Amino acid sequence: MTTMTLLQAVNSGLKDIMQDDDRVVVFGEDVGINGGVFRATEGLTKQYGEERCFDTPLAESGIIGVAVGMALYGMRPVPEIQFADFIFPAFDQIVSEAAKMRYRSGGEFTCPMVIRTPYGGGIRGGHYHSQSPEAYFCHTPGLKVVVPSTPYDAKGLLISSIRDEDPVLFLEPKRIYRSTKQDVPEGVYEVPLGKARIARAGKDVTIVTFGAMVSICEKAAEDAAAKGMDVEIVDLRTLLPLDEEAILTSVAKTGRLVVVQEAPRFCSFGGEISAIVAEKAIEYLQAPILRVAGFDTPFPYSLEHVYMPDAKRVLAAVERAVHF
Amino acid sequence: MTPMSPMSPMSEDLLCVLEPKSAKGKGAKVALPKGLDQAKVQRMYRLMVQTRQLDDRAMKLQRQGRIGFYVPSIGQEACAVGSAFALSDKDWCYPSYREPGAALAVGVSIQAMIHQLYGNAEDVTKGRQMPVHYAFRKQRYVSVSSPIGTQIVQAVGTSMAQRIRKEKAISITYFGDGATSSNDFHTGMNFAAVYKAPTIFLCSNNQWAISCPLGQQTASDSIAIKAKAYGMPGVRVDGNDVLAVWQATNEARARALAGEGPTLIEALTFRIGPHSSSDDPSRYRPNEQLETWQKKDPIERLKKFMKQAGMWSEAFEKEVVESAIDEVNAAVKHAETVPLPASSTLFTDVYATMPPHLAEQQERLLALEKAQGGAEIDKNAAFPL
């Protein structure tokens, strides 16, 4: 065990899986000698050489298109998109190519690859360095979408994603890259995809969330506890495929649901969680399903702290649910 | 907006083997390119005839309402056959939707292709895509995509992997003149040149992207000239001369295997037919242009060459044409006896392992079908593009 930040855990996961599996290649903008702008790929080129970890021309669609061709051939590409906000030039290669390859070819060709990208706000990055684009990708059959919230999960989920037979979008919550530390095992280990985690057990309200919002919700849960409300937090870890069972089990216990996300509310992932619970667990609900989300505006710069859901907004929703 | 500079595609720099400029005098002997012999030339001839027969029949099947859609490659057979014939059984092929000849050349059966046109239960792609969107793992013939150019950059990825793995193999990617306007063309060319990837970019310049002529796509003097800016050789060949296409591809392949990187080949040809079974080129294309190019038919030109070289006889012609027709007929006959894939297959191959939400949807659909009968096909649905 070593105490690591989430960023160090990602780096450790890449180092260990590259040792374990020589099909794994890492590439993207500035990931080579510079080790990535966040340093997630630090030391990989030195340890494994320029054929296993290398810089690319500055073209996201090319990075992902090339990764598709490598995956079809039999490699395990792990391309990095420097910020999730830059992923849209590669949207076509992700949703129409990587995600559809297995289905459209009747299983003749498959496209196992992991697209790593830092997402989310709270780093004073403005519109082009702060967005949470998960909803676009969760609407894509054939793709898996994974979001860790702790160092231990980051490494284990990354290794599971790289070993998975399908393409995975691995969204890294950059706001908490360096903010918390946790004991992380040396060597490869897996945290299974498609399984949520109960980040905090409680009996009055369920909060379903993921990524950087988990710690915000934990803070809100502390504040709620001081007011006598017992909050359970479901950290999804994988958004697609979703662990419906974990959500429904928790809601059956608490009878109240608050969904928390950074992304804008309209047509968002939180909307899907709400619909599933409304369809499958309405008999347990004692209050309306509530969503705490980014506003339906572009991501701002100066007023980032107003835009982002914080513990106060989450607490307000918890109180509304409990006192309905 | 009118194109700035309509290109004159018939410039003098085309590589031509069937009627080389040096052999224009009377009685001049034409030599076969090194690496080809009579059997190989005859094989290429057969592949082009098979392609033509498949196209011809498939267009009729579409007109009769027996298949939903088709994309003919009539007039362009030499581009696909000549290039794919130069490949080894380790090379990868990233086709567009207009290279059935390449599929045949790398060993795909006519039956397998016709099953795909019907999208039936024996189609290896399980009826997942429209006709001509083939995928054949065994032949490394990668799944065809409709959006233009997406395969170009993927072929480069495979080539980069071939280089990393030090495999003696290359990738070839096919596209038309329209695709040279796409983002993936630029990106693919750039990545391949930067990494010296063993990729062959084969542009079948058929001079039309549905209704838009070449000058609407580019103001360059040619497609091949674009290679220079990326830092790779660009070669122009007579795309209706199967031997020239073979020679250019063979040379590009040798360069790639020698670690010298990618090549762009512009094969100048013409789309004799419509863009697809839904298109009517008389709306936009001058008839004189069509007539000029009909005189350059790649099959007729090779036949003429073979006659002169003593590689052709009436009996050979009869056997080649009749066996192609028979094979296509038998494949159609069989394909029409095969049912559509079962409803349950709707949910397989989305992921390697079916996740719970898909299993639930599958279970509900099958229960509904059992209770109420299956969904009905809308016989009025017709594809417009």
Around Cβ A206, how many Cβ atoms within 10 Å?
29
pLDDT digits (tens, 9 = 90+) for A36-65: 999 999 999 999 999 999 999 999 999 999
What's the pLDDT at B5?
Answer: 43
Q: The tokens of B295 are what?
A: 């005189």
Please list the residue range(s) of chain A that carry CATH number 3.40.50.970: 2-184
Identify the sign of the CA torsion B74, B79, B85, B90. negative
| Mutation site for A-interface testing, chosen from B139, B151, B153 by largest number of A Cβ within 10 Å | B153
Closest chain B C-alpha to A60 CA, distance in angstroms: 9
Q: Over the stretch B230-266, which tens digit does the pLDDT of each residue have?
A: 999 999 999 999 999 999 999 999 999 999 999 999 9
- B119 sits in the region (left: phi over 0; alpha: psi -120 to 50; else beta) called left
- B135-149 pLDDT tens trace: 999 999 999 999 999
Question: How does residue B134 score in pLDDT terms, banded at 50, 70 and 90?
Answer: very high
Question: Could you say which of A68, A104, A142 has the minimum Cβ distance to residue B157?
Answer: A68
The C-alpha of B11 sits at a distance from chain A's nearest C-alpha, in angstroms, of 33
Q: What are phi and psi of B235, to 5 degrees?
A: -120, 135
Contact B143 A108 (CB under 8 A): yes
One DSSP character per residue, B230-245 reads HTS-EEEEETT-HHHH
Residue B4: its pLDDT value, please?
45
Residues of B in contact with A110 (CB under 8 A): 352
Residue with structure tokens 């897996």? A190
* Record: fold of B34-335: Rossmann fold (3.40.50)
Distance CA A101, CA B150 (A): 12
The band of B29, judged by pLDDT with boundaries at 50, 70 and 90, is low
Mean pLDDT, rounded, for B9-26: 71
CATH number (3.40.50.970, 2.60.40.10, 3.30.479.30, 3.40.50.2000) of A2-184 reads 3.40.50.970
Low-confidence residues of chain A, pLDDT below 50? none
Torsion, Cα of B86, B90, B93, B99 (10° steps): 50
B135 and A106 within 8 Å at the Cβ level: the answer is yes
Topology adopted by domain A197-322: Rossmann fold (3.40.50)
Work out the percent of chain B whose per-residue pLDDT is above 70. Answer: 94
Distance CA B76, CA B202 (A): 13
Q: Is the pLDDT of residue B26 over 80?
A: no
Read off the pLDDT of each residue in B1-27 and give the average, rounded to a whole number: 63
pLDDT at site B11: 57
Whole-number pLDDT of residue B268: 97
Sequence-distant (6+) residues with CB within 8 A of B167 are: B90
The pLDDT tens digits for B311-349 are: 999 999 999 999 999 999 999 999 999 999 999 999 999
Cα–Cα distance, B78 to B85 (Å, whole number): 10
Domain boundaries, chain B: 34-335, 343-372
Catalytic residues of B: 271, 275, 284
Q: B8-22, B160-174, B182-196, B230-244: lowest mean pLDDT where? A: B8-22
Contact residues on chain B for A75, CB-CB shorter than 8 A: 161, 164
DSSP state of B15: B
A66 to B190: CB separation less than 8 angstroms, yes or no? no
B358-376 pLDDT per residue, tens: 999 999 999 999 999 888 8
Cβ burial of B283 (10 Å; 0-12, 13-18, 19+) is exposed
Give the pLDDT confidence score for residue B374 in this predicted structure: 85
Residue A277, token pair as written in the block: 């619970």
Which residues of A are part of the catalytic machinery? 129
CATH 3.40.50.920 location in chain A: 197-322
CB A286 within 8 A of CB A255: yes
Residues in chain B within 8 Å Cβ distance of A62 = 153, 184, 187-188, 190-191
Q: Cβ–Cβ of A66/B125 closer than 8 Å?
A: no
- Pick the more confident residue, B384 or A38: A38
CB contact under 8 A, A66 and B142: no
Angle A195-A198-A199 from CA coordinates, rounded to 5°: 120
Distance in angstroms (rounded) separating the CA atoms of residues B74 and B3: 27
Q: Rounded CA gap, A34 and A144, in Å? A: 29
In A, which residues are within 8 Å of B120 by CB distance?
Answer: none
- Over the range A145-162, which residues count as b (16 or more CB within 10 Å of their CB) and which as e? bbbbbbbbbbbbbbbbbb
Distance from CA of A178 to the nearest CA of B (A): 33
